[in-house]
Structure 1
Amino acid sequence: MQNLRTIPMFSKLCDEGIEKLKEISTIRKYNVKEILFYEGEEPLYMHILLSGTLRLYKTNYRGNQIFLHDFKPINLVAELANFENIPYPATAEFSSSGEVMKIDYKKLEENFFKNPDISLNIIKSLASKLKIMSEVVTNEIVLTSDAKVAKFIYENEELFNQLKNTQIASLLNITPETLSRSLAKLKKDEIIKIDEKQNLTILEYEELEKLFV
């Protein structure tokens, strides 16, 4: 097992605490497309993403995936389900190979939650999740499809050129056809440029930002 003090929330644990933590934890490797947990499963473990990228999504009544967030290491994943003792509200799937630390939640709660450093890190993590959910609500309810595309390009110009249009559309919860129409509008208005190799360049940052603020 790796040096657990490299994980911020455990960095100040004493040697005895580290040994107790090892006794209630396992580290597992996952491959691309493997599922960490499914929407509706009971939360028996607290999960800490140590490496790789984890995609969180919900599935609607039509069976379509609604993208929520990509988690990067080092990060707690869906810890609210542990605290509230509710089923996982979404599915977590690896979009790259990775590693996760799985901690027996009941034993973690019994032995470690009185530690102020651990409690503070958990509170910070929950606060960051609230911000993520606020952004999800804004993207899905407030922003139009054109605004979602503009915001994604503005914030992720380099990433945009690394992904396929189908992947970008999936991240934005829109169809590839809708994405193509939005890009065509931006190109026509000379806000962006797309060359013969399909590489995108932002020409007018201020005009692009106006579309989603």
Structure 2
Amino acid sequence: MSIQQSIRKISFFNNLNDEQIDLIASISSESTYSSNSILYYESDENNNLLFLVDGLIKIYKIDKFDNEIFLYHIYKNSMISELTSIKQNEIYCFSNAEIIEDSTILSINFDKFKEHFLSKNILTMELLEILLEKTHQLQCIVNRELVFDATAKVAFMLNQDVDMFNKLKRQEVSFMLHIQPETLSRVLKRLTRNGVILVENGDVIIINKDALISIFKGVGV
């Protein structure tokens, strides 16, 4: 697959013409990472804007007791980088990024990207939209970690990504949500009794999405 083909797999670049795609390719590189490798550590700096073409990435932090604090997953066709300024060329990493599945990453020279695109008001709205989505994601993390009780945490994750919930082991889900496995089991049983979900062969099936959303909707707002 050419780098142009990889760029076209990312919806952020959908409105670019062939010439612009070639220009992006000329200031970019593409790398592959195997699962369980580290893309970057907290406090690292780089000069490239990163996009996940294919694969899966886990974003997490380490607390003062060396405990891992799960934040969120990044899926294919997504921007990885967390920007705080478009004036500086250095992009500061606020968390750790671990490759969960074999991944392909597009790396774009941020300085040249600003010169050839942002300075000409090309892709500025698309970038703004991504940054707003990341801000909303941060708000959700604050709610999950500081406001939600165990039931709201589980309901929120099921609503956001039931496929990932089913893909992970229950112990991994408990670890991510910072609740005990026994607590997770009790919540799932309660949601089942209330007709919100159905568990078949270990997989959760949502049967009343409105009821599920009502569990966490409005909490922390």
Q: Which ranges of structure 2 fall in alignment gaps of 5 or more residues?
A: none
Q: For residue 138 of structure 1, report the CA deviation from its aligned partner.
A: 1.3
Query: Corresponding residue for 1:22?
Result: 25
Query: Corresponding residue for 1:3?
Result: 4
Contact 1:54 1:70 in 2 (8 A): yes
Q: Distance in 1 between matches of 2:213 and 2:44?
A: 39
**Residues 198/13 of structure 1: CA separation in 2 closer, same or farther (3 Å cut):** closer
| Secondary structure at the counterpart of residue 101 of structure 2 | coil
User: Are 1:12 and 2:13 matched, yes or no?
Assistant: no
Q: For residue 191 of structure 1, report the CA deviation from its aligned partner.
A: 4.9
Query: Corresponding residue for 1:128?
Result: 133
Match of 2:115 among 110, 115, 123: 110
Match of 2:73 among 62, 70, 79: 70
Q: For residue 34 of structure 1, report the CA deviation from its aligned partner.
A: 1.6
User: 2:134 corresponds to which letter in structure 1?
Assistant: K
Query: Corresponding residue for 1:56?
Result: 59
**Residues 30/194 of structure 1: CA separation in 2 closer, same or farther (3 Å cut):** same
Q: Distance in 2 between matches of 1:8 and 1:210?
A: 31
Identity of matched residues, %:
26
- The CA RMSD measured in Å over matched residues stands at 2.7
**Residues 19/157 of structure 1: CA separation in 2 closer, same or farther (3 Å cut):** closer
1:181-192 to 2 correspondences below 5 Å: 181-187=186-192, 191-192=196-197
Match of 1:96 among 95, 98, 101: 101
Q: For residue 24 of structure 1, report the CA deviation from its aligned partner.
A: 2.5
The answer to which structure has the higher strand fraction is 2
Contact 2:196 2:212 in 1 (8 A): yes
Q: For residue 41 of structure 1, report the CA deviation from its aligned partner.
A: 0.3
Query: Corresponding residue for 2:178?
Result: 173
Scaled by the length of structure 2, what TM-score is found?
0.80
User: 1:3 corresponds to which letter in structure 2?
Assistant: Q
Contact 1:192 1:203 in 2 (8 A): yes
User: Are 1:151 and 2:156 matched, yes or no?
Assistant: yes
Q: For residue 12 of structure 1, report the CA deviation from its aligned partner.
A: 1.9
Query: Corresponding residue for 1:212?
Result: 216
